[in-house]
């Protein structure tokens, strides 16, 4: 695979242009074209000879959409092809406050959560920062309307564990926020982790006020480990301490994801224990009914059970919402589209 030009920030592109013997204003044109989600060969303001030289070292396009599915609820799901032929997926959701894109950070995942389709074939490789950014750039280009951005919020909840690809993810968040670029603030970025504690501490010191989201999905370490192998490495108490540190350093409240799975984590006693665990903490709980994954034996808690769970949390003074399962008819959950593609459907 050639290099990925989207890995570079504006300063680095200026250096690059100089190395190729081009004037500084060419770097600006190159950067603008890249941020508009264009392939190198589509940036027509640049001299052909410069593009040809770049193509010897850099991919024309690191990320190409090869399939789009549109849900009845308007959610769009994309299958992206990377330059080395690997495929990843992303989701685009329209809300009243803006448009949210869900991006992948790795090809596959090695965290092994039992309910998640992304981890079925393990981790193939990490994405570079430019491959993560390019997912946003191409989707933004599809939905942009004049000067209005197509994508306003980004969630790192596609395939992969963001904190298992730490440096690329942090570089991505910085380049996403760059002025003159697509300019999406870290405040509009949510980073979801299964709870890699050391990296949660590191993130708190980056000076990037992203919304930290932790996939909790249970209330005791023993039960959590049944569906999330990472629970054998880090205890819930350690995760909560890392969250408290994150709040102290950034002033941002944190969020817990809790996917309701029948017979696993959705009983009254789980809801009550969750109230005790989170009482008084500056956090919010996002409940969602599991998206059924056919390769997995687990299934969603009923709508009634989910409403009941929500009620217990709210009565217990915990800020919580039950999210709609957007795009459930198009394989909306993590890794489902890619898994289907790889198995030839």
Q: Which residues bind ligand SAH (CB under 6 A)?
A: 111, 113, 115-116, 157, 161, 192-194, 215, 257, 259, 288, 290-291, 293, 333-334
- To the nearest whole angstrom, how small is the minimum distance from the Cβ of residue 318 to ligand SAH? 17
Nearer to ligand SAH, 76 or 161 (CB): 161
CB of 116 to ligand SAH, least distance (A): 4
**Distance of closest approach, residue 164 Cβ to ligand SAH, in angstroms:** 8
Whether residue 334 lies in the annotated active site: yes
Neighbours of 206 (CB within 10 A): 15
Catalytic residue among 22, 76, 89, 199: 89
- Least Cα distance to 315 among 263, 268, 260 occurs for 268
> Of 29 and 291, which has the nearer Cβ to ligand SAH?
291
C-alpha–C-alpha distance, residues 8 and 172, integer Å = 10
User: For residue 184, what are the contacts with CB-CB under 8 A and spacing of at least 6?
Assistant: 136, 149, 151, 152, 153, 154, 176, 177
Q: Which is nearer to ligand SAH, 111 or 184 (CB)?
A: 111
**Nearest to ligand SAH of 107, 293 (CB atom):** 293
- The catalytic residue among 109, 116, 275, 334 is 334
Q: Is 102 a catalytic residue?
A: no
CA atoms within 13 A on the CB side of 297: 4
Q: For the chain, where are the E strands, in sequence order?
A: 63-70, 76-82, 87-95, 98-102, 106-108, 123-126, 153-156, 189-193, 211-215, 254-260, 283-289, 320-322
Provide the terminal-to-terminal Cα distance of the chain, rounded to the nearest Å. 27
Least spacing, CB of residue 255 vs ligand SAH, in Å:
10
CA torsion through residues 221, 222, 226, 231, sign: positive
Residues belonging to the active site: 89, 334
């Amino acid at each position: 695979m050639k290099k990925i030009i989207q890995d570079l920030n504006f300063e680095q592109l200026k250096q690059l242009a100089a190395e190729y013997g081009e004037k500084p204003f060419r770097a600006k044109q190159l950067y603008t074209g890249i941020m508009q989600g264009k392939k190198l060969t589509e940036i027509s303001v640049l001299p052909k000879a410069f593009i040809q030289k770049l193509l010897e070292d850099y991919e024309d396009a690191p990320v190409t959409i090869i399939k789009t599915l549109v849900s009845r609820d308007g959610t769009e799901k994309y299958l992206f092809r990377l330059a080395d032929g690997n495929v990843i997926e992303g989701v685009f959701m329209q809300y009243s406050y803006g448009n949210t894109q869900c991006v992948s950070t790795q090809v596959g995942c090695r965290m092994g959560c039992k309910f998640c389709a992304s981890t079925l074939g393990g981790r193939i490789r990490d994405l570079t920062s430019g491959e993560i950014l390019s997912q946003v750039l191409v989707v933004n280009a599809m939905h942009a309307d004049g000067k209005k951005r197509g994508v306003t919020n980004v969630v790192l909840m596609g395939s992969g564990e963001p904190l298992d690809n730490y440096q690329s993810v942090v570089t991505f968040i910085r380049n996403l926020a760059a002025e003159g670029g697509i300019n999406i603030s870290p405040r509009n970025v949510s980073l979801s982790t299964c709870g890699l504690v050391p990296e949660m501490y590191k993130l708190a010191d980056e000076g990037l006020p992203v919304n930290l989201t932790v996939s909790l999905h249970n209330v005791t370490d023993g039960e959590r480990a049944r569906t999330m192998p990472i629970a054998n490495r880090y205890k819930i108490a350690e995760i909560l301490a890392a969250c408290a540190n994150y709040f102290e350093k950034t002033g941002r409240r944190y969020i817990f994801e809790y996917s309701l799975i029948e017979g696993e984590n959705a009983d009254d006693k789980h809801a009550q224990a969750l109230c005790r665990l989170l009482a008084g903490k500056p956090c919010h709980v996002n409940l969602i009914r599991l998206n059924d994954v056919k390769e997995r034996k687990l299934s969603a808690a009923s709508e009634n059970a989910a409403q009941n769970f929500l009620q217990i949390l709210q009565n217990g003074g915990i800020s919580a919402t039950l999210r709609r399962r957007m795009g459930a008819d198009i394989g909306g959950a993590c890794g489902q589209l890619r898994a289907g593609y790889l198995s030839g459907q």
